[in-house]
Amino acid sequence: MAKSRQHKAESRKAILDSAARLFRERGVEGVTVAEVMQDAGLTHGGFPRHFSSKQELVTEALAAVFQANQDAPILPTDSLQVFAAAYLRPQHREAVGRGCAFAALGSELVRAPDHTRATLTAEIRRQIDELAKTTSREQAIGAWSAMVGAMMLARIADNEAFSDEILNGTKAFLGA
Amino acid sequence: MAKSRQHKAESRKAILDSAARLFRERGVEGVTVAEVMQDAGLTHGGFPRHFSSKQELVTEALAAVFQANQDAPILPTDSLQVFAAAYLRPQHREAVGRGCAFAALGSELVRAPDHTRATLTAEIRRQIDELAKTTSREQAIGAWSAMVGAMMLARIADNEAFSDEILNGTKAFLGA
DNA sequence: TTGATTCGATGACGATTGTCATCTAATAAT
DNA sequence: ATTATTAGATGACAATCGTCATCGAATCAA
């Protein structure tokens, strides 16, 4: 087992990647620190060398997701309609662990500590600003809210036909 | 302490009311069974007389909220715009414990067991059907998604001005 | 009135989980 | 080369929490 400084950075990245995926898939409280570490190929004991608490891991993992999405956006932002059509695809609904963090964790994040909320608020702002480049600010806000809400509702729905109707209905509503 | 049959029904109702409020305020995993019972004026030991598990309480509490909202709707449904204007008020944002269960618990409910998801799916359907009485089905789906998403995002935002902008922007987007 | 039920209280148990102490081995510093 | 650091493993601890056992007291059936 390598113990170099470079290896530590790689471990940290692996932990953040595992955390970001698992938290979105199962919720923050649905995943233990030990599970995250195991998923990253480590054991639970090494955790304190990287993060001082689980909450810090949550904040850092979300920040990493947002940074990655800023550096290399997954969805096209040519226009609001193009973005919405991509966001509202069934593939996104199924890939919870790699999809929008707000749709996956939104209602839990409402109760996150201040430091985490600050990171989240900045990302909401960034996302709206990005979309507002090709349309009005009100459209950007309303449409993105619709996407996030629709994705969440489509995931709650227990049958595919109705879930699809939510996604497609919202897509049509947004002219996408 | 009364132990009559009537009193048991009253206790059950008190437990459901407390649960529905506390779960929405703090999340399902953020509230213990003991806290719900205490809030209802009882101790934790009486819980099994009413519900066989915490998960059953979650399902029943949500079902009760939906039933109550169907019997005596809180928000006006005269038109989609009127409903949206009422839904997106700051008072709703602040009253998490008495507000929309989807905005308060949505992302946690995605991972709820089948039985709970069935109840939730039925309520989503009912809500959309209700709104679709005064507009197109696509409008009903897209607009309601926008309301739920906007309320969640507005609650995540850590400053009131931006939170208000999300609510008002969505309101304007929906023509409300 | 008497006996059977059962609501709700007290108390405890077992499982889970975040965090920390300690040990080891490999790396970095001198 | 020798020493000091430190990433990461093993193991344990304390706290939390869902659930159940048991008991007392009040109600309902007879």
Domain boundaries, chain B: 1-59, 73-176
Q: What is the CATH number of domain B73-176?
A: 1.10.357.10
Is A166–B141 a contact, with Cβ atoms under 8 angstroms apart? Answer: yes
A168 CA to C15 C1', in Å?
44
Q: Is the pLDDT of residue A3 over 90?
A: no
Q: What is the mean pLDDT of chain A?
A: 96
User: How far apart are the C-alpha atoms of B24 and B19, rounded to whole Å?
Assistant: 8
Q: Is the pLDDT of residue B163 over 60?
A: yes
Confidence of residue A1 (pLDDT cuts 50, 70, 90): very low
Q: What is the CATH number of domain A1-54?
A: 1.10.10.60
Amino acid sitting at position B172? A
Nearest nucleotide (CA of A54 to C1'): C18
B125: closest CA of chain A, how far (Å): 9
Q: Is B64 exposed, middle or buried (0-12, 13-18, 19+ CB in 10 A)?
A: middle
Model pLDDT for residues B5-30, shown as the tens digit of each residue? 678 889 999 999 999 999 999 999 99
Q: What is the CATH number of domain B1-59?
A: 1.10.10.60
* Confidence at residue B6, expressed as pLDDT on a 0 to 100 scale: 74
Is B170–A142 a contact, with Cβ atoms under 8 angstroms apart? Answer: yes
Mean pLDDT of A149-156: 98
Among A40, A15, A22, A7, residue whose Cα is nearest residue A98: A22
DSSP H stretches of helix in A29-136: 33-39, 54-71, 80-87, 90-94, 101-109, 114-131
Instruction: Using CB atoms, pick whichever of A114, A152, A174 lies closest to residue B107.
Output: A152
Query: Which of A158, A160, A167 to mutate to probe the B interface, most B CBs <10 Å?
Result: A158
Residue with tokens 């009413």: B50
Q: Is the pLDDT of residue B98 over 90?
A: yes
